[in-house]
Structure 1
Amino acid sequence: MRRIDAIVISIGIFGAGGLLYLVLQVVGIDSTNAGIWTQAILVGGLFIWLLTYLFRVTNSDMTYNQQLKDYEEAVLQKRLEEMTPEELAKLQAEVEQEKLDKRKKQE
């Protein structure tokens, strides 16, 4: 996220809080209670956002992790495309041998 995006989001949240305050006053809630409810809703929203952020962090579902995974897959795909048929056959034989070895160890 760019710095300007963070600034625009912050201004938008600030504006939404002000708009919510005005809407609550128009509905008939006095200014003190409207302010309290506005703050409670904004803090609740912040808390929910924090929980989703922590959930994404613990599951390694962050943008950086996804970009790194995509990059690694692209590099491996490029390497596979550059391999000769003999090298591919050799690699496939090694993979099959590792699978057999793994099965033998499990038994």
Structure 2
Amino acid sequence: MRRIDVIGIGFGVFAVGGLLYLGLRVLGLDSPAAGIWSQVFFVGGILGWVGTYLTRVMNHDMTYNRQLEDYEEAVLQKRLDELTPEQLAQLQTALEADTGATDSESPEQPTSP
């Protein structure tokens, strides 16, 4: 995020707070009550934003994680596209053999008497 973006967001938050205060004044609240309620809405909005941020952090749904996953997927797709048909067939055979070996190594479920 650039510095001008941060300045714009700060100005926007300030403007929304002022408009909220003026709106509450127009609705008939006195100055202290309008100030308190505009602060309540502002703090509630910040807590909501922090909650969504923490949710994204816990779910690993951040921009960096998405970019890293997209990059890894693009690299693997590029490598797959560069393989010859013979190499693709060889890779598929190796994967099928590996999957078959993994299935045979898995422990069987005991049967109950």
For residues 30-88 of structure 1, what are the alpha-carbon distances to aligned partners after superposition, in whole Å with 9 as ceiling and x for unaligned? 11011100001000000000000000111111111111111111111111111111211
Structure 1 unmatched ranges of 5 or more: none
> In 1, distance between residues paired with 2:86 and 2:24?
73
Q: Which amino acid aligns with 1:40?
A: V
- What TM-score, normalized by structure 1, do the two folds share? 0.92
What amino acid sits opposite 1:3 in the alignment? R
Number of residues paired by the alignment?
107
Report the counterpart of residue 55 of structure 2 in structure 1: 55
Q: Rg larger in 1 or in 2?
A: 2
Query: What amino acid does structure 2 have at the position aligned with 1:57?
Result: V
Aligned to 1:79: 79
CA-CA distance at 1:102 after TM superposition: 2.2
Q: TM-score, normalised by structure 2?
A: 0.88
Aligned-residue identity in percent:
59
- Give yes or no for the alignment of 1:65 onto 2:65: yes
Q: Distance in 2 between matches of 1:56 and 1:3?
A: 24
C-alpha distance after superposition, 1:5-34 (max 9, x if no partner): 222112101110011011111111011011
Choose between structure 1 and 2: higher helix proportion.
Answer: 1
1:75 aligned partner, one-letter code? V
Cα deviation, residue 100, structure 1: 1.4
CA distance in 1, matches of 2:32, 2:46: 21
Compare 17-26 and 92-101 and name the one that shifted more. Answer: 92-101
